[in-house]
Structure 1
Amino acid sequence: MIEPILMCILLVLACISVLSDNLRRSIVFLGAFSLTMALTYLYYNAPDVALAEAAIGVGLSTIMYLVALKKIAVYSIIYVDEHADQISDDQITGISNSIIKPLELFLERTEEIEPQIAYSNHSLESIIEEDLHDFIIYKKDHLTYFYGKASDLIFQDIIANMNETIDNIEEIRVVFRDEVLSDDAIE
């Protein structure tokens, strides 16, 4: 009777750890998965394997993942094109070569952080309201707007080094989103 319960718990914990949006939460669920696996080994009369799973899977691996996660910094960038019904590969390639790739190289080499790039066709107001991203790139007509917080030192470094990073900066406008409203900045 306990075997199906353990298998269901293992399946649920594995799915949650893989599908979770938060890496720290995924690591905690992975530790819970290892603990449940150790209990499963005990149920099958393998105490030596259960002890190894508890020591390595629950203890050592969880601590190592948490330490590694603390050392990795991720900088979230989103490109917003709210006029597109669907973001196509051609649009991504166009913006990628001119702005995204140079930003990625700058962040990886100079700031030593991992950029995470997302593309969206939601409204700019909803993206700013969600406040999930560190850097917002918004294209309107022939101008490109960079939205970031004035308190964000990485955003300030990007803006300070734009001449060296991005080829054509005449059509780029910088907006500090914690100083102005989004509607005022676009008009």
Structure 2
Amino acid sequence: MRSIPMAASSNSGRKKSYNEGQVSRALADLKIRGLEPSVENVARHMIEEQYLTAKPRPEGLRQMIQEVQDAKEEQRVLKLIAALPRSATDFIDQAIDKSRRQLVAGIAESFSELKEQSTLPLQEAQERLQSMRDELRRKREEQDEFKNRLSAEEERVAVLEAEVQRKDLELDDAVKQIIALRAQLEAKDAVLEMLRPPGHQ
């Protein structure tokens, strides 16, 4: 009596009731019989001929079929490569190296052209930026000059205002002196009028 193989783990952690060996055997038998290696045929083979008790989930079985087929194809290619003579592999290596150099050279030339093309806009942008900086510096110099002139004018105005205030004070003093002199003259005239003999005009 055939024993049931140990269960394999799925990518999600859920235990499978079959393994790659069973899938590989089913694929081999289906190939011999000329049947399509579909999920349904592989599942039927494992249930009917390998005594699988639970029906496999289609998603998990489809993934394992693909993995087994990919592994077999990789083994087939490796065997073909291993069977090549040394001269053939050397020729292939040289051809690959030559193709790689040509590819790298082509990419390098394209990169160089793009770099040269991108240099012009960059240079124009740098020149424009420098021009803007020069203009900004000139504006700042003009602004500083205007501030200096304004400060000088403010100082001159302050001096003139102080002079005007001094003149106003002097004028006030002069007016007060005139008023005082006028009062003295009026008082003197009043005294003289009182001392004048009667009948004299």
**Higher share of residues assigned helix:** 2
Highest CA radius of gyration, 1 or 2? Answer: 2
TM-score, length basis structure 2 = 0.20
TM-score, length basis structure 1 = 0.21
Tell me which of the two structures has the higher relative contact order, counting C-alpha pairs closer than 8 angstroms and 6 or more residues apart.
1
**Higher share of residues assigned strand:** 1
